[in-house]
Structure 1
Amino acid sequence: MPNRDRFRRLLEVERSEKMSLITALRADIAAAYSARRDSNVDDEHDPEGSTIAFELSQASSLVDQSQAKLVQVEAALGRLADGTFGLCLSCGRMIAEGRLEARPWTPYCIDHAALKH
C-alpha cells in the first residue's frame, strides 16, 4: 500500500507548480498580445511577427498541457481522499510503487497505461 501522506505531498507540490506555471504563461501571453495590439506593424509584414506568433502558439500549448496535467493531479488527490489511490482504474490491482513514484497522478497500472494512450 502506498504511503498516502508522501504521495499527497508530491501531488500538492505538482499542483502548486502547475498552477504557478499556468499563471505565469497566461501573463506572458497577455503581455505579448498587448504588445502586439499596441504595435503599428502587422505580423505579416513584421520580420518578428512569425516569431511572436510561434511563441504565442507554444505558450498556449504549454498552458493546455499544464491544465491537462493539473486535471490529472486533482483526480489523483480525489482518489487519495476516497481511498482508491494506487488502484488501477481498469483492473483494480495495485499500481506498482515505482510507477507511482515516477507518475503519482497515474490512474493505471503499467499493463493498462499503454491501452489508454
Structure 2
Amino acid sequence: MTDADARLTAFRERLLLERDETLQLMAGLGEDIRRIVDARQDSNVDDEHDPEGSTIAFERSQSDALLRQSRMRLADIEAALARLEAGTFGVCEACGRDIPEARLEARPASRLCVPCASRA
C-alpha cells in the first residue's frame, strides 16, 4: 500500500466514523423533538401567555436547527465518501487544484480549497 493509499484509507475511516456519529446525533435530536412535541400535545397551554411556552418553542427551534445542520453535515460526508470512490477526493470542485492535506485533516468533507472557500 502506498502512502497515498494509506492516507485515503485513513480519510475513509474518519469519514465513516463522522457519519456514524452524525447519524447517532440525528437520532438523538429526533427523539428530543418527539419529546418536545409530545410534551406540548399533553398540555393545552398557550405558548404566548405561558412563561414556559417560549422555552419550549425555543428548545424546539434549536433542536430543529441542529437537525438541519446534521442533515447537511451528513450530505457533505456522503459526498466526500462518493468522491473517495470516484477518485476525486481532495480535488477542489471550483478550481480543480488539490485541496491541501492540512485542510482535509481539519475538514475531511471539504469540497473546496481555502481560496475558493473564501470566495464562496
Bin for the TM-score computed over the shorter chain: over 0.9
Sequence identity of aligned pairs in percent?
52
Q: Structure 1: where are the runs of 5+ without partners?
A: none
**Distance in 1 (alpha carbons) for counterparts of 2:27 and 2:79:** 20
Partner of 1:8: 12
Alpha-carbon separation, structure 1, partners of 2:119 and 2:22: 26
Higher relative contact order (CA 8 A, sep 6+): 1
- Once the two structures are TM-superposed, the CA of residue 106 in structure 1 deviates from its matched residue by 0.3
**Distance between the aligned counterparts of 1:45 and 1:78, measured in 2?**
50
Correspondent of 1:85 among 83, 89, 105: 89
Structure 2 counterparts to residues 19-58 of structure 1, below 5 A: 19-58=23-62
Q: TM-score, normalised by structure 1?
A: 0.94
Residue deviations 1:61-104, cap 9 Å, x none? 00001101111110000000000000111121111000000000
Give the CA RMSD over aligned residues: 1.1
Unaligned runs of 5+ in 2: none
Residue-pair matches, total: 116
Aligned to 1:103: 107
